[in-house]
């Protein structure tokens, strides 16, 4: 078996989750309607909030020319936002059991009028998309309400994009997983067998590549990278904003470093303390809701998909599953659509028409526009580092039999995205398991929780689980529900206004507030 030792500055890991029960503590599934905590040792609601620190030793920021964010930086600049890049060296293992550091990649967003002496907001989007890419997307579509008072600093999760990206699979394995084995000539069984075999091969390739540095790529390790940034800055407390699966990292940070957290925003959180299938179904429900919103806009605009755009998309997916668009797979088409639904932005009408035209072109034999979107989605959301991180964080991955059942059920209930989501669960079924990151039992700051009705990245099921965690940790919280479609909810100017007030003095909106689409 090929073994590639990572260079001294490169991060590595191999073992984390898989089948088996979650070891996280039970959480309440609903927070109190007034956002009040359960009895705990937490701080008094009347205590003045602790403000995050302003770095005393900042990083050497530069423009992002020559990085993976070069194009996004240009797009952000047209929206009045300056994107800058930096790196710092972080320990692979904070316990010191394994020597070595890795290079962590950072992206800072600010405007020309962002105060130079304002504290920064640390941003993480977990494995959904690199944090830098997510911040760049938000910057290009409008983040100036938040940036009026504070810069935002995104830290890529280790192993992803500019945080020492991992390249552990062969091109054949990677292509097979992206296509969920649809054109796997080596498979003698059905799609479930093919994905299971590809996932097994990917697990061997990646754990072998990372051996012998048996390190972690879990949310707990990502949380320690955030604390390494805090220490690098020379501050005692930080403001932390997570989006999507970044909520796992944020809550891990709160559990490990309760005294170092002064503000916490959980934006469009993924479900916590749930099994992989439940989390995947939440995402699929969000994708279908976002597609419904797209179809409604499409009808209003008289777009090229005709009077029933959702049926047109469903028909295209059935044709893709029947190999009509070979070599473009059904999974590639599904991912292209899903990734295209993330952005709300200021040009939603233009993007709605563009996606409609790309799908219409596919139906008439021109696959190039959708192929371009699929390639972009693979690059942004399906890298090897994301595979490792997702497999590490997930729990109770289903076996082949259960995945087949889910593919049938979800294929009926969620006709555009369900079947592929169920089969995709098998990619991580062979990944080694370990204990999950602990959840906080104490939270000092009040917490702002944002959610969206049509979230194609994680769905909306995470809201009740994270408010349960916050309640059990003894902290106050408020939820704000964006009625729009996209990810994350901070695309809403209304949500950004609530964020701005909270970041100023930790004030929360009325619990259960709503932002219009």
Question: Any idea what DSSP says for residue 59?
Answer: -
Q: Could you tell me how many residues make up the chain? A: 517
d(CA 333, CA 311): 15
pLDDT for residue 243:
98
DSSP for 336-348? HHHHHTS---S-H
3-state DSSP call for residue 135?
helix
d(CA 292, CA 288): 6
pLDDT for residue 66:
75
3-state DSSP call for residue 269?
strand
User: pTM for this structure?
Assistant: 0.89
Instruction: Spell out, as residue ranges, where the chain has pLDDT lower than 70.
Output: 1-47, 185-188, 212-215, 345-346
DSSP for 231-255? HHHT-S-EEEEEEETHHHHHHHHHH
CB 426 within 8 A of CB 398: yes
CB 381 within 8 A of CB 348: no
3-state DSSP call for residue 189?
coil
Q: Sketch out the chain's domains with CATH numbers.
A: 62-159+217-274+439-515 (3.40.50.1820), 284-394+396-428 (no CATH)
Phi/psi of residue 78, nearest 5 degrees: -70, -20
Give the distance, in angstroms, between the CA of residue 239 and the centroid of all CA atoms in the same chain: 19
pLDDT for residue 213:
61
pLDDT for residue 21:
32
pLDDT for residue 331:
98
State the virtual CA torsion across 114, 116, 118, 123 in degrees, nearest 10: 70
CA proximity to 277, closest of 104, 134, 166, 398 = 398
DSSP for 142-157? --HHHHTT--EEEEPP
Radius of gyration of the chain (CA): 22
DSSP for 58-80? ----EE-TTSTTHHHHHHHHHTT
State the virtual CA torsion across 196, 201, 205, 211 in degrees, nearest 10: 70
Positive or negative: CA dihedral 323, 326, 327, 331: negative
d(CA 354, CA 361): 11
pLDDT for residue 287:
98
Alpha helices for 275-347 (secondary structure H): 276-301, 309-321, 330-340
Helices (H) and strands (E) in the chain, counts: 17, 10
């Amino acid at each position: 078996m090929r073994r590639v030792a990572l260079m001294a500055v490169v991060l590595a890991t191999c073992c984390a989750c898989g089948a088996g029960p979650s070891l996280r503590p039970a959480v309440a599934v609903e927070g109190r309607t007034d956002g009040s905590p359960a009895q705990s040792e937490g701080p008094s609601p009347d205590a003045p909030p602790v403000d995050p620190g302003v770095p005393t030793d900042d990083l050497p920021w530069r423009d992002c020319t020559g990085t993976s964010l070069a194009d996004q930086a240009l797009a952000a600049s047209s929206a009045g936002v300056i994107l800058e890049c930096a790196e710092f060296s972080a320990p692979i293992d904070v316990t010191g059991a394994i020597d070595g550091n890795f290079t962590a990649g950072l992206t800072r967003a600010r405007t020309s009028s962002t105060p130079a002496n304002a504290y920064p907001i640390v941003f993480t989007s977990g494995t959904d998309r690199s944090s830098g890419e997510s911040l760049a997307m938000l910057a290009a579509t409008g983040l100036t309400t938040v940036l009026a008072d504070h810069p935002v600093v995104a830290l890529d999760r280790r192993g992803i994009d500019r945080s020492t990206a991992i390249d552990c699979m062969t091109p054949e394995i990677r292509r097979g997983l992206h296509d969920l084995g649809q054109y796997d000539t080596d498979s003698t069984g059905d799609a479930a067998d093919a994905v299971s075999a590809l996932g097994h091969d990917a697990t061997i390739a990646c754990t072998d590549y990372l051996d012998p540095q048996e390190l972690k790529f879990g949310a707990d390790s990502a949380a320690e990278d955030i604390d390494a940034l805090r220490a690098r800055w020379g501050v005692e407390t930080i403001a932390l904003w997570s989006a999507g699966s970044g909520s796992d990292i944020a809550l891990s940070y709160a559990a490990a470093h309760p005294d170092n957290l002064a503000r916490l925003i959980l934006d469009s959180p993924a479900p916590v303390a749930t099994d992989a299938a439940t989390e995947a179904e939440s995402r699929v429900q969000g994708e279908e809701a976002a597609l419904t919103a797209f179809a409604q806009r499409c009808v209003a605009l008289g777009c090229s998909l005709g009077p029933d755009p959702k049926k047109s998309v469903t028909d295209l997916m059935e044709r893709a599953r029947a190999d009509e668009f070979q070599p473009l797979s059904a999974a590639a088409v599904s991912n292209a659509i899903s990734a295209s639904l993330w952005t709300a932005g200021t040009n939603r009408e233009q993007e709605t028409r563009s996606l409609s035209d790309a799908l219409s072109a596919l139906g008439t034999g021109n696959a190039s526009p959708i192929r371009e979107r699929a390639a972009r989605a693979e690059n942004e959301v399906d890298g090897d580092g994301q595979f490792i991180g997702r497999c590490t964080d997930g729990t109770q991955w289903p076996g082949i039999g259960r995945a087949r059942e889910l593919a049938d059920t979800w294929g009926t209930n969620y006709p555009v995205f369900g079947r592929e989501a169920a089969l995709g669960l098998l990619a991580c079924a062979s990944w080694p398991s370990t204990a999950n990151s602990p959840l906080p039992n104490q939270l000092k700051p009040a917490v702002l929780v944002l959610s969206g009705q049509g979230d194609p990245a994680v769905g909306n099921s995470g809201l009740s689980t994270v408010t349960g965690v916050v309640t059990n940790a003894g902290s106050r919280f408020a939820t704000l529900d964006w009625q729009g479609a996209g990810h994350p909810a901070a695309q809403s100017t209304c949500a950004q206004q609530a964020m701005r007030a909270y970041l100023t003095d930790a004030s929360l909106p009325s619990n259960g507030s709503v932002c219009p689409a």
